[in-house]
Structures are given as C-alpha cells and as structure tokens.
Amino acid sequence: MQRILVIGCSGGGKSTLARALGAKLGLPVTHLDVLWWQPGWVPLGHEKLRPLVEKVVAEEGWVVDGNFSDTFPMRLARADTVIWIDRPRLVSFARAFGRFLKLRGQPREDVGEGCPEKFDLEFARYIWTYNREVAPRMAAMLREHGSHVEVVRLRNDAEIADFLNQR
C-alpha cells in the first residue's frame, strides 16, 4: 500500500483514517476538500482542481481522501488501494452533525482555509442521499477503472481499527 484512496460519505471518517494511515505508513496525506474549498466556501472549480490532483498522484506514495468523481478515474489509475468507508447514512449524518456542534464556526484541518465548519441543507441532503446518488457512481467507476486495485470496505469503527492495527 503506497498509493491509497479513501472514499465514502461525509461524516464517515475518511479524513481521520487518511491521517492515521499517512502517519502509520509514512505517506503524505492530501484532503481534496483542502484543494477544492477556497475561503468562504467558494469552490475552486474543476479546471483548476485537475492539475493539482495530477501533481499529487504523480508522486510515488500518497494517501488521498475525498470522492470528487470528476478526478476519480485519474486518481484510480495511479492507486494501488481504495478504502471505502461504507457506514449507514444515519451514522454519517449524526457524526457530521456532531462535528458541526463541536466545531461550530471553527475550521477543520481537512477543509480549505477560511471555511468554518457548517451544516446546511445542501450538506445534509448530500449525506442523506449519498448511498443512492454518489455511491453507485463511485462503484461504477471502480468497476470500469479499478480492476488493478485492492478495494477494502470498512463499515464500522471496529473494522477501521482492525484494518489500522494490521498495517
């Protein structure tokens, strides 16, 4: 495991797992939300994101967390492992809302600078519909472009802890 993608719904623990894997394996970690979100929650734009992601995945080793389906095939082409955190939507929803309550108005290290934690209707809808709308697209891209990668699906904290302990 030298080039790892961590995907899954918001609130599932992608960034936490990515940081833990990076530390354990001595790999740099890139949170795609840091690249995407500019101050005030302004999106960078897909045309500007692509070259940044290309630069990251050109390196020998890395952990990249985030879905961003438009860059997924490019990242997948270089990956050797995909870790899919696949929690029930109520768990992701509750964890994301709990994070909002804890950090209200403060930024996280895995989101762009100048982006204080928020939980709005658009974000809530994304989490609630992830398994129906986003996950099938990610699965289809994995089938189409990912025959060379190991895919690990982790569904709860115990599986995540076991996975980390085995590394």
3-state secondary structure of 89: helix
Distances (CA, A) of 40 to 26, 99, 105, 131: 32, 19, 12, 28
Q: Model's pTM, two decimal places?
A: 0.94
Tokens of 87: 């929690």
Query: C-alpha 113: how far from its chain's center?
Result: 17
Domain boundaries, the chain: 3-165
- Which candidate, 70, 19, 63, 83, places its Cα nearest to that of 44? 70
Kindly indicate the confidence band of residue 121, based on its pLDDT and cuts at 50, 70 and 90.
very high
Q: What are phi and psi of 64, to 5 degrees?
A: -120, 125
pLDDT tens per residue across span 9-48: 999 999 999 999 999 999 999 999 999 999 999 999 999 9
The whole-number average pLDDT for the span 116-132 is 95
Burial per residue of 54-71, b for 16 or more beta-carbon CB atoms within 10 angstroms, e otherwise: eebbeeeebbbbbbbeeb
pLDDT tens per residue across span 69-107: 899 999 999 999 999 999 999 999 999 999 999 998 888
User: 């001595």: which residue's tokens?
Assistant: 26
- CATH number at 3-165: 3.40.50.300
3-state secondary structure of 23: helix
Kindly indicate the confidence band of residue 167, based on its pLDDT and cuts at 50, 70 and 90.
confident
